[in-house]
Amino acid sequence: MKRRVAAIYAIVVGVLMFGQWAMFLITGNVPELQTEPIRIAFHLAGEFTTAALLVVGGVGLLVVRKWGYHVFLLALGMLLYTIIVSPGYFGQLGQWVFVLMFAVLVVLTALFAVLAYRAEGELRGEG
């Protein structure tokens, strides 16, 4: 596994998560802010933490820091959780393009997680 590819995947997905939520919030497409403000606040905290750790882990891999590997794996685990849970919301609304997007992300993220685990030395800058 190439460290640079893994890093770019993490950074791009993290930035896109920030962007998607920013777009939803700016355009008023988060009705739960009025109907379920506590639940959505916790959900957003999880989403933004995942996105931030993806970016931090990706940067850590790019600059070859040993901690980058651990943050990267943690972020991938968090991402797997959110991309398994999130499609239900969009499926309920009949927004199947989002469901498909999440399905692709599940496959890619699981693949990156397995490959990263197998290439620990390389990703930590040891090989």
Q: What is the DSSP letter of 125?
A: T
d(CA 71, CA 56): 7
Place of tokens 């940067």: 59
pLDDT, one tens digit per residue, over 55-90 is 999 999 999 998 999 999 999 999 999 999 999 999
pLDDT, one tens digit per residue, over 86-95 is 999 999 999 9
Predicted TM-score of the model (pTM)? 0.92
Q: At what angle do helices 66-85 and 96-118 cross, to 10 degrees?
A: 150
**Rounded (5°) CA angle 43-49-53:** 150
